[in-house]
Each structure stands twice: as structure tokens, then as C-alpha cells.
Structure 1
Amino acid sequence: MMCGTIIGVADFSDSNRKLFSTLNAILLSLVPWIQVSRSRSLLVMVKLEVFLVAVVVGAFLHLALMGFNALSIQILCAVSGGSKSVFAKKENSTALLLVASQKTLPVLVAVVDQLGGSFGESGLLVLPCVAAHLNQIIMDSLFVNFWNKKKESLSTVKAA
């Protein structure tokens, strides 16, 4: 009886994957929203230049992590079997690169919350975290789009 129930839950979640994905995104977005809402009065005093510098630094951090992780994946591939390594497959190395380079927003918010205001108002500290997270999503989607176009053009050249 228990196994049938688990299979039923698995089937239900599989058939409603898009709904659960959307619900997950909505619930995760509430975490920083609550933090930012606590400091609403201070947010209007943030200078645009300071915010833009935080956005650029967040983008630079993401690029630096991507560079470091790309090098680390190459070293890991060489140490674990070269061309026979699981990391030698382009799909695996690309997925690892993207996942290892991203810092998730809930983790950032949790870290800021644990600081207990020692570096300033937590709602203000979360603001660049939200911007950095959006940067990561935009940058990585551009990278994936570029890689897919490159892969398509290579397969077109090989077919011709």
C-alpha cells in the first residue's frame, strides 16, 4: 500500500512539474522580498551609483567564479582520466560549471540574516544580493544561448 502511495505522489509531481517549478520560484522570491520590505524606508535613500557598482561587482564575482571553476573542471578532468573522464563530456562540464558558479539567493539571504546587522541593515544588504542573483540568471542564459548557437553551427558545418 505504501509503495502505491509513493508512486502516486511521484506521478502527480511529474505531471505537475511546471506548477511545482513556478510555485518553488514564487516561494523562494518571498524570502528576499520579506528582508527588503523590512528596510523599505532606507531603500529610497540608496544612491543609484552605489547600487550600480554593487551590480557590476556581482557580475565580476560571477565571471571570476566561472573562470576559476572552468580551470578547476579542466584539472579535475585531467586527474580523473582525461578524455575518458565523466567531466570530459561537454554536457557534464557545462552543467557543473554553471551550477558551481552560481550563488543562490536563499543562501545569500540566510548569510545576511546571520550577520545580525553587523554590516548594516539586512534589507539593504539583501538588495545587491537580489541584483547579483538576477545578473547570474541573465548572464548564464546568455552563455547557454551562445553555447547552443555555437554547437548548432558546428553541427551544421560537420553535416555539410
Structure 2
Amino acid sequence: MSTNGNAMSTKDWILKNFLILGLLAVITFGLLCPAPGEALDEIQFGTFRLPQVAVIVIFVVSGLCLDSISECLQYKALALSIFLVLGVTPLLAWPILHFGQGYANETLLQGLAVFCVVPTTLSSGVTMVTQAKGNVSLAVLLTTITNLMGVGTMPWSVSKIFAASVEIKPSQMLFELLWLTLVPLVVGMGLREVFPVAKSFAKTNKKVLGLCQNSCILLVVLLMTSSAQPQIVTTDSSDLSVALAIAAGIHLVYRVVGYFSATAAMLEPREWVTVVLMSSQKSLPVCVSVMSALPPSLRKHSGLMIVPCIMAHASQLIIDSILAVRWEVMEEKKAPLLGA
């Protein structure tokens, strides 16, 4: 009995940490054996490369899995969150690019800057809001709106990040992101609303679809890592250490900004938790989509650029997992008192 229990707990732990464990595995494999990833990167489906197809699948699944947003219209919390996610947090890209020069590899800094300008997470943020007893419907709506609006804001921001390297036309990148993110997301949402069987399938198989989505992220990271293997292995370890420190610092800065902003707005506890969590997280899948939409001259460096994004993603998952559990315990302690 205890053996079965241990096996189940191990399985649950692996599933819970599937993305982080998978990222460690594919990065290691891509660095040690880059040939398979390089070969897969050459595969095309019409005008789309394999990494782009994987990104499209990620966003179709995201749209398909979005839950009901019927209790989400908390206008003050929603407006504050959108302002923080798309207006305030991207500003951190500027000091990273300017003050980080000379302390870390420029490509690593550019990757961190891209991480700053993308919208909030597609799934992990909502999961943590659920665990922390926040307003889940608000978190879902915020995820949807910021990712839809982000398609319009990111091309301009990314063009500024890479202005010193190569000219990026925001209109051209907007077109790329429309096909890679917005259209698939809307298709997934449409399938869910139009076909009851699709909604039922998504609800019943949410964990399986989540694993599918994460597997597509791992595939893209493998291809990027394999293609950039020579750059990554020759990058100075001190540069990677600085990038890791900045990656963790990004989330801490976002957390402090979210904390004081939500407190100053005098939000209700459930909305306060949601705003603080969602406004301090950034989306790794969207980082992947942005790098897939870069011009070829920059795309060849995407493997090195994605490394600090993975560091930042891991940092926010670790920090927020601890805090989400802490808030959940606090809510559970309050419940008996309220019942009494």
C-alpha cells in the first residue's frame, strides 16, 4: 500500500514539475547532441517551420482550455492588472539593456528584455491563483485580454530592444504574431464555444492537454538549443550567472510593484491575490512565439536568448509556488474562524 502511495506521489510530483524537468532534459540533450534538433528545425509544413507549428498548437490548446469568465468583471482590479502587465512591467527592459551592458552577454540581456515585454502567463498563473484562493475568473479574463492586446504591443517593444542589432518592422512582426498566437487562441476559444463536445473534451482532459502544450514548448526549446549549441557552450559562466541573478531579480521587482499597487488600490482580498500574482508573471510560450517571429538574422541566436527566459520562468514558478501555498494555508486557517 505504501509502495503504491509512494509511486503515486512520485508521479504527481513529476506531472506537477513536468515543464521544469522537461526544460532541464531538453536543454541538456540539445547541448550534448544537437544533430537531431538541427534536423527537426529544417522541417517545414507549407510556409510554417516546425517550431512555428508547435507554437500554433500551444495557443490553440490555450484557447480550448480557457475556463468560464462569468465572475470576472472586477473593473478596478482588471484595469490595474492590464496597466501593470502591459504598461509598467515592460519598462524594466530598458534598464536591463542599458545598465547590464558590460556585465553579461548582450544576447542574454536581449532575451531578458523580451521576457519583460511579453504578457502574463497562459496557465501557470491561473493555477496558482486557484491554489491561493484568488479570483480565478478574473485571472482567466486577464490572461485572455493581455495576450490579445500583447499581440499589438509586443512588435513595437521588440523593435526597440533589437534596434541596435537589426531593424525590425513592427507591422511585419505583428502579422507574424497574429498567425502564431492570436488566430490560434481565437480558434481554440471558438471551438470551445461552438462545439459542446470540444468544451467537454477540454474539461475532461485538461491535464493531458496541458502536457501536450508543455511538450510543444519543450520541442521548440530543444530546436532552439540545438541550433544555438555552439554559442551556448562558449558563453562565459559568469555571464550566465549574472543572467540568472537578473532573472530572479525581475520577478522580485514585479512582485514588489504588484504588492504596493494592489494595496494602494484597496482591492478585496481575492482580487488582491489575483493582481499580485498575475501582474508579476510573464509567459514563456509567448517568449517562444516572439523568438519564432524574429527575422532570420536574429532567430539564429534565439537558442541563447531563450536560456535567460527559462531562468526567469523557473524563478517565478518557484517563488510563486511557495507564496501561493502560504496564502492557501492562511485562507484555510481563516475558514474555521468564519464558520464559528
TM beyond 0.5: yes
Query: Separation in 1 of the partners of 2:202 and 2:339?
Result: 40
TM-score (norm 2): 0.38
Query: Separation in 1 of the partners of 2:248 and 2:295?
Result: 23
Compute the displacement of 1:155 (Å).
Answer: 4.7
Q: Deviations over 1:114-143 (max 9, x none)?
A: 37656x922212111111111111111011
Kindly indicate whether residue 217 of structure 2 is the aligned counterpart of residue 28 of structure 1.
Answer: yes
CA contact (8 A) 1:116 1:122 kept: no
3-state SS of paired residue (1:101): coil
Query: Separation in 1 of the partners of 2:289 and 2:259?
Result: 27
**Which of 244, 263, 276 is 1:97 aligned to?**
276
Partner of 1:150: 330
Kindly indicate whether residue 106 of structure 2 is the aligned counterpart of residue 106 of structure 1.
Answer: no
Partner of 1:127: 307
Structure 1 stretch displaced more, 125-134 or 67-76? 67-76
User: How do 1:1-160 and structure 2 match up within 5 A?
Assistant: 6-77=195-266, 87-88=267-268, 90-112=269-291, 114=294, 121-155=301-335
- Greater per-residue helix proportion: 1
What code does the residue aligned with 2:325 have?
N
Query: Separation in 2 of the partners of 1:31 and 1:92?
Result: 34
Q: Deviations over 1:14-55 (max 9, x none)?
A: 111111111111112323332222101221122333212211
CA contact (8 A) 1:105 1:130 kept: yes
Query: Separation in 2 of the partners of 1:129 and 1:115?
Result: 19
RMSD: 2.7
Return 5+ residue gaps in structure 1 as ranges: 78-86
Query: Separation in 2 of the partners of 1:133 and 1:50?
Result: 18
TM-score (norm 1): 0.75
Identity across matched positions, percent: 25
Query: Separation in 1 of the partners of 2:295 and 2:254?
Result: 23
What code does the residue aligned with 1:133 have?
H
Q: Deviations over 1:73-110 (max 9, x none)?
A: 23334xxxxxxxxx31x222212221211111123234
Compute the displacement of 1:157 (Å).
Answer: 7.0
Aligned residues: 145
3-state SS of paired residue (1:144): helix
